[in-house]
């Protein structure tokens, strides 16, 4: 019923060339740069205002369109985002560049968010045609095949992604988690085993996460505790907390999340996990508060999970009217979410 993180909804992962793009901004792209800073702070509406000024001032229009698309995604306005990204791509009159690669990834995510999974798949295919060594594109296209219930092509794409980046243990885990989410955890085990064969190249966190996925929680706990002590990586805290949850110690898991949030109150993913842990502890008011705080952080990568879990927490509280109102808003933003549609069917009976 609840979601531990945003695995099925692909908003995270790639998009790593933005700094390269903006290193090429002209000195007169003042409002474009201002908009980028506003987006980084989650101020999407204000960014759109700056981009209107940038267009009127004749600043780089392709950068304006790209940032408009990102701002619209932050506001869950995916139709508008698709339009902006498509226009940014269509205005290219030469060869495909890093800019086009970056925008194409964003376009695919926006299409996926709209429920246009086949369109997203086609966009990833276009990326692969132009950039055949893009491991991320194979991995992400594989996830779309899973959604479309084409397991054979999904695993074929996952294998191609691994072949391109065979030394990336995180990729193996992501593939396993994608397959597990699709009910094919057994198929994913071979990827975990391949990652374990990279033993000398694995950090404590990576080993701990692998053990967690393999269900070896005692070993996972040892490595993840070392990783948490060695730094402030929120992913290490998340997986250590989940390990304690799997071992049945919900109170300690919640204390881990709270301790982390004292130092980094702006981490929406940890906030989401705290809310889920509080649901398991029957603290539904606390869970609602955690999800509300997480939503207020404006992290587009966690928005969907937080909003869905917020609805579930209100259901547990017995506040079905509030849950129905939030569900209507949620389905307006995420109309293709089949789990939410089923949950809405339940709400309509209350």
Average of pLDDT values for 300-316?
92
Q: Does 121 score more than 70 pLDDT? A: yes
DSSP symbol at 200: G
State residue 2's pLDDT score: 61
Residue linked to tokens 């506040």: 319
Average of pLDDT values for 49-61?
94
Residue 39 within a domain: yes
Residue 65 within a domain: yes
Average of pLDDT values for 54-81?
93
Confidence of residue 343 (pLDDT cuts 50, 70, 90): confident
State residue 1's pLDDT score: 54
Residue 16 within a domain: yes
130 CB-near residues (< 8 Å, 6+ apart): 96, 100, 101
Confidence of residue 58 (pLDDT cuts 50, 70, 90): very high
Question: What CATH number does residue 44 fall under?
Answer: 1.25.40.10
Domain hosting 93: range is 1-115
Residue 72 within a domain: yes
d(CA 279, CA 228): 24
Residue 2 within a domain: yes
State residue 232's pLDDT score: 64
Residue 110 within a domain: yes
In sequence order, which ranges of the chain are alpha helices (DSSP H)? 18-23, 30-40, 44-56, 61-74, 78-90, 98-113, 117-130, 135-147, 151-164, 169-181, 185-196, 204-213, 217-229, 234-246, 250-263, 268-280, 284-296, 303-317, 320-333, 338-347
Confidence of residue 7 (pLDDT cuts 50, 70, 90): very low
pLDDT tens sequence across 182-214: 999 999 999 999 999 987 778 899 999 999 999
Residue 36 within a domain: yes
Rounded to two decimals, the pTM is: 0.80
Q: Does 92 score more than 90 pLDDT? A: no
Confidence of residue 35 (pLDDT cuts 50, 70, 90): very high
284-295 as b/e, with b when 16 or more CB fall inside 10 Å? bebbbbbbebbb
Most confident of 9-23, 161-175, 290-304: 161-175
Residue 264 within a domain: no
Confidence of residue 18 (pLDDT cuts 50, 70, 90): very low
The DSSP annotation for 251-299 comes to HHHHHHHHHHHHH-TT-HHHHHHHHHHHHHTT-HHHHHHHHHHHHHTT-
Compute how many other C-beta atoms are within 10 angstroms of the C-beta atom of residue 262. Answer: 7
Q: How many CA atoms lie within 13 A of 150 on its CB side?
A: 14
pLDDT tens sequence across 246-260: 999 999 999 999 988
d(CA 334, CA 154): 23
State residue 6's pLDDT score: 43
Sign of the torsion formed by the C-alpha atoms of 68, 73, 75 and 76: positive
CB 211 within 8 Å of CB 192: no
Number of domains in the chain: 1
d(CA 223, CA 235): 13
Most confident of 2-6, 113-117, 250-254, 330-334: 250-254
The pair of three-digit structure tokens given for residue 297, joined into one six-digit string: 């952080």
State residue 109's pLDDT score: 94
Confidence of residue 172 (pLDDT cuts 50, 70, 90): very high
């Amino acid at each position: 019923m609840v979601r531990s993180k945003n695995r099925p909804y692909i908003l995270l992962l790639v998009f790593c060339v933005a700094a390269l793009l903006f290193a090429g901004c002209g000195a007169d792209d003042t409002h474009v740069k201002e908009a980028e800073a506003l987006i980084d702070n989650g101020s999407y509406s204000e960014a759109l205002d700056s981009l209107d000024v940038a267009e009127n001032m004749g600043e780089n229009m392709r950068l304006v369109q790209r940032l408009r698309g990102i701002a619209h995604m932050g506001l869950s306005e995916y139709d508008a985002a698709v339009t902006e990204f498509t226009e940014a791509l269509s205005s290219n009159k030469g060869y495909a560049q890093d800019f086009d690669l970056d925008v194409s990834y964003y376009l695919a995510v926006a299409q996926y968010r709209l429920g246009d999974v086949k369109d997203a798949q086609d966009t990833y295919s276009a990326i692969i045609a132009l950039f055949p060594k893009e491991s991320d594109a194979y991995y992400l296209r594989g996830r779309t095949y899973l959604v479309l219930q084409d397991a054979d092509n999904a695993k074929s794409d996952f294998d191609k992604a691994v072949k391109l980046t065979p030394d990336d243990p995180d990729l193996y885990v992501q593939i396993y988690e994608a397959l597990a989410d699709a009910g094919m955890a057994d198929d994913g085990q071979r990827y975990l085993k391949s990652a374990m064969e990279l033993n000398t190249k694995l950090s404590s966190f990576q080993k701990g996460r692998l053990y967690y996925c393999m269900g070896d929680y005692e070993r996972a706990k040892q490595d993840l505790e070392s990783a948490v002590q060695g730094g402030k990586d929120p992913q290490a805290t998340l997986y250590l907390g989940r390990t304690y949850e799997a071992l049945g110690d919900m109170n300690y898991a919640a204390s881990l999340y709270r301790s982390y949030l004292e130092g980094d109150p702006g981490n929406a993913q940890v906030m989401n996990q705290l809310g889920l842990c509080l649901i398991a502890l029957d603290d539904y008011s606390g869970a609602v508060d955690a999800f509300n705080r997480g939503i207020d952080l404006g992290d587009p990568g966690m928005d969907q999970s937080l909003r869905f879990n917020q609805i579930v927490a209100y259901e547990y509280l017995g506040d079905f009217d509030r849950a129905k109102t939030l569900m209507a808003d949620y389905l307006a933003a995420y109309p293709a979410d089949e789990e939410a549609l089923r949950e809405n069917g339940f709400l309509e009976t209350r």
